[in-house]
């Protein structure tokens, strides 16, 4: 895939999945804009010294002002929205603040970034959101209802927006990962069968195709990326 001359925003780009997306994009010729919140994220980011990478410090991607800093008006080809957060908890243990934290961190941030991307794209482009398996299988969201609601909203946003902007040459899709094989997930679930989990590089490969110029027809898809799980 050739991304020469194309600018791509990757939220959550300093994380495990984000790094697996940003690296191939830079190698394929893209210039990448990656927002980050904590200085430690930036300092540990393996690609931080790449001349085609722009790191932008933000406080909250659910803030329109912070999103505007990332999407600064420069022509944009692709926008990949990985940033978000997970929290489990039964409904009886989830108050309004916890619910809104999931909605803001996952859905509102994705909506605002989608909006900014559409406003910045010239003559077409690609948007890829990251939903989650419970968005496609809500019964699997028992015990993490707030997260499931937020990620289901991301899936619905993806489908509706894809219809809205197809006429402008913008193709919008999402991936829905199961639990991915990351250091943090292994630590949190040490007894799990890690071999069944999709690797971040495998999930990244699907994202990279969907955001690429080679994707000419796929839109409004929520692609399951479950591996063997």
- Burial label, 184 (beta-carbon count in 10 A; 0-12, 13-18, 19+): exposed
DSSP one-letter code for 103: I
Token representation of residue 122: 């010239």
Tokens 């790449």 belong to residue: 50
From 36, 86, 147, 226, active-site residue: 147
Q: How many residues does the chain have?
A: 229
Token representation of residue 58: 């933000």
DSSP one-letter code for 33: E
DSSP one-letter code for 185: H
Q: Is 147 a catalytic residue?
A: yes
Q: Which residues are designated catalytic?
A: 147
């Amino acid at each position: 895939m050739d991304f020469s001359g194309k600018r791509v925003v990757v939220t959550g780009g300093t994380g495990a999945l984000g790094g697996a997306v940003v690296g191939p994009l830079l190698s394929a010729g893209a210039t990448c804009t990656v927002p980050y919140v904590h200085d430690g994220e930036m300092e540990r980011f393996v690609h931080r010294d790449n001349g085609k990478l722009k790191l932008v410090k933000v406080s909250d991607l659910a803030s329109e002002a912070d999103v505007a800093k990332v999407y600064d008006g420069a022509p944009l080809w692709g926008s990949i929205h990985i940033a978000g957060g997970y929290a489990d908890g039964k409904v009886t243990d989830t108050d309004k603040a916890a619910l809104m934290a999931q909605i803001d961190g996952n859905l509102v941030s994705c909506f605002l970034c989608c909006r900014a991307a559409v406003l910045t794209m010239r003559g077409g482009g690609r948007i890829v959101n990251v939903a989650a398996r419970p968005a496609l299988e809500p019964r699997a969201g028992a015990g993490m209802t707030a997260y499931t609601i937020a990620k289901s909203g991301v899936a619905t946003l993806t489908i509706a927006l894809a219809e809205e902007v197809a006429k402008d040459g913008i193709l919008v899709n999402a991936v829905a990962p199961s639990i991915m094989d990351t250091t943090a997930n292994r630590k949190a679930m040490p007894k799990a069968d890690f071999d069944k989990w999709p690797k971040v590089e495998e999930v990244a490969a699907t994202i990279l195709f969907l955001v690429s110029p080679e994707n000419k027809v796929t839109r409004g898809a929520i692609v399951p990326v479950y591996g063997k799980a």
